[in-house]
Amino acid sequence: MKKFVCIALVVLTQLITWHSELKTVLAAPISGEIAVAVFFEPLNQGQTKIDQINVDAETTLQLSLFISGLALTSTSVFSFKGAEFQAFEMVAGMVISFRNVLIFAPNILEVDDDPFWTIQFAQPDPGLVGVPLRMFIDELASPLDLARLLAPTVDDPLQFRKLISQMGINLWGVRFSVTMLIANLGTSSTPSFQSGLIFEAGGVTASGVEVIALTYLGARQGWECFGECKSLERYFEGRVVPDFEFQEEKLIIRNLTLAGVTLGAEIAFDFTTITLSQIILSLRVSVLGAVIQQKIVLNDLATPSFVSFGWTVQLGDGLFEIEFIDPNGLFQFPAKRLSFFVQWEAISFKDELILQDPLGLLHTMEVIAEVESFRFRSQTAFLGGLINGFYNQKVEMSWGMVGPGTWAWRVSIEAQLRREYLLYISPSMSVKF
């Protein structure tokens, strides 16, 4: 009953807000962007002379209206299956700010904020729980793998999946905000609504120290995504959980400088277990031109779960970084990252070595060039060998043009080679108007 009243109040607030602002919005100028990308993947990823191809296409349409302090944005994503994602976002306010996002999608995924981005919940779920989403999204991934993974979840028609409603106000330099989350975790025939609230208070002191306090009620840290889970379809405000109860309290302190040492801390308290669930301590100090940084993540006051320690040194145009990492918090540092970055005018080069005990090795080299409206990026990866364990080659090129008026055009092409075969090739085009 309590949950029903909460949902009804939120829906009523939405209707009143949208109705009052719709009159102002009509006949306003529209700006936006349409982007079309096509992905081609060889059907038989091997060394064949003649092959068939898999094709995936995605169109994104964003339309925006800006009128005297009010911004309305519609984001639509289409594929061969039809509409896969629709979001309406409204941002308004001067002293008190409002942000409302209504999301319609055939699916919903709840993702943990761990290094693997493990899927915690999916609806529909063709066996996605426990799958590391990061494996399908990061730099070395093929977009077609992600499409293939989530294709069985976008068969249903669009339905209401999430409402994010935020209200914020600045009082005496302190920002107070409340975020209401309502998610539909049910099926198309049997909706199931869960709600959550996140209270936030924070500000920056005269000396630059930032302090933020967050209280999670019926929600936890993490994120949710929809459709094909592309960047436009991810929302990081938090994820709802069953039962409308106090879940977490979080305190964040940033930029606290004492005797030249910049400190930061994030402390999370879990109401469900009555324990400190996470403590993140960071330190940054400059010594003789080198920047030393340290980060420790503790599960509780005595149990570290992650430790990193690194130096950054600027030598001429080059920037050297070395970082020792222990993802288990045992201060044994089985992982090391060494990188070198240099930039000459429009061209930059980055070389990075990742080493992980006992014998893990990934070597990447990246070149980025931007000359007027032409952009080029190349990333080469070697796995298990410094320069002879070739693993991946990614190339991106794009060319843009501005005009007439506020219109802007950009055509791009990207391709990825994996070991001895072509992983995919993708031409795309975007138009801003």
Query: Is residue 132 a contact residue for another protein (CB under 8 A)?
Result: yes
Query: Is residue 114 a contact residue for another protein (CB under 8 A)?
Result: no
Site size for another protein (CB under 8 A): 44
Give the count of beta carbons closer than 10 Å to the beta carbon of residue 173. 9
Query: Which residue number, 271 or 324, has a Cβ lying nearer to another protein?
Result: 324
Q: For residue 188, report the phi and psi dihedrals to the nearest 5 degrees.
A: -65, -30
Among 68, 231, 388, 406, binds another protein (CB under 8 A): 388
Q: Could you tell me if 299 and 330 are in contact, meaning their C-beta atoms sit under 8 angstroms apart?
A: no
Query: Which residue number, 79 or 356, has a Cβ lying nearer to another protein?
Result: 356
Q: Across the strands, what pairs with 375? A: 370, 398
Query: Is residue 134 a contact residue for another protein (CB under 8 A)?
Result: yes
Among 356, 378, 393, 430, binds another protein (CB under 8 A): 356
Q: How far is CA 408 from CA 34, 192, 212, 300, 401, in A?
A: 11, 43, 39, 51, 6
Of the candidate spans 214-222, 223-231, 393-401, 415-423, the one that interacts with another protein by CB under 8 A turns out to be: 415-423
Query: Which residue number, 281 or 354, has a Cβ lying nearer to another protein?
Result: 354
Cα separation, 167 vs 341, in Å, equals: 42
**Distance in Å, CB of 392 to another protein, minimum:** 9
Query: Is residue 366 a contact residue for another protein (CB under 8 A)?
Result: no
Of the candidate spans 91-99, 255-263, 358-366, 408-416, the one that interacts with another protein by CB under 8 A turns out to be: 358-366
Q: How far is CA 268 from CA 263, 277, 279, in A?
A: 17, 6, 6
Q: Could you tell me if 398 and 413 are in contact, meaning their C-beta atoms sit under 8 angstroms apart?
A: yes
Query: Which residue number, 276 or 354, has a Cβ lying nearer to another protein?
Result: 354
Q: Residue 66: CB partners within 8 Å, gap ≥ 6?
A: 28, 29, 31
**Distance in Å, CB of 152 to another protein, minimum:** 9
Which strand ranges, in their side-by-side order, compose the sheet holding 234-235? 119-123, 108-111, 223-225, 234-235
Among 7, 135, 213, 365, binds another protein (CB under 8 A): 135
Cα separation, 221 vs 110, in Å, equals: 11
**115-154 as b/e: b if 16+ CB within 10 A:** eebbbbbbbeeeebeebbbeebbeebebbbebbebbbebb
**202-240 as b/e: b if 16+ CB within 10 A:** beeeeeebebbebbbbbbbbbbbbbbbbbebbbbebbbb
Of the candidate spans 15-23, 158-166, 251-259, 320-328, the one that interacts with another protein by CB under 8 A turns out to be: 320-328
**Distance in Å, CB of 389 to another protein, minimum:** 5
> What string marks each residue from 334 to 353 as x (binds another protein by CB under 8 A) or -?
-x-x----------------
Query: Is residue 358 a contact residue for another protein (CB under 8 A)?
Result: yes
**Distance in Å, CB of 349 to another protein, minimum:** 17
Query: Is residue 384 a contact residue for another protein (CB under 8 A)?
Result: yes
Q: CA 125, 36, 137 angle in degrees (round to 5)?
A: 40
* Residue 93, token pair as written in the block: 């306010």
Among 69, 82, 93, 115, binds another protein (CB under 8 A): 115
Among 13, 61, 71, 148, binds another protein (CB under 8 A): 148
Query: Tokens 């305190």 label which residue?
Result: 251
Query: Is residue 323 a contact residue for another protein (CB under 8 A)?
Result: yes
Among 5, 23, 46, 243, binds another protein (CB under 8 A): 46
Query: Is residue 212 a contact residue for another protein (CB under 8 A)?
Result: no
Give the count of beta carbons closer than 10 Å to the beta carbon of residue 62. 18
Cα separation, 65 vs 86, in Å, equals: 16
Query: Is residue 145 a contact residue for another protein (CB under 8 A)?
Result: yes
Q: For residue 211, report the phi and psi dihedrals to the nearest 5 degrees.
A: -125, 130
Query: Is residue 389 a contact residue for another protein (CB under 8 A)?
Result: yes
Taking CB under 8 A as the criterion, which residues in 238-257 touch another protein? none
Among 12, 31, 93, 139, binds another protein (CB under 8 A): 139
Cα separation, 404 vs 257, in Å, equals: 50
**Distance in Å, CB of 145 to another protein, minimum:** 6
Query: Is residue 395 a contact residue for another protein (CB under 8 A)?
Result: no
Query: Which residue number, 318 or 384, has a Cβ lying nearer to another protein?
Result: 384
Cα separation, 351 vs 67, in Å, equals: 46
Q: How far is CA 395 from CA 349, 378, 392, in A?
A: 14, 5, 10
Query: Is residue 155 a contact residue for another protein (CB under 8 A)?
Result: no
**Distance in Å, CB of 119 to another protein, minimum:** 10
Residues that bind another protein (CB under 8 A): 44-46, 115-116, 127, 130-132, 134-136, 138-140, 145, 148-149, 308, 323, 325, 327, 335, 337, 354, 356, 358-362, 364, 381, 383-389, 391, 418-419, 421
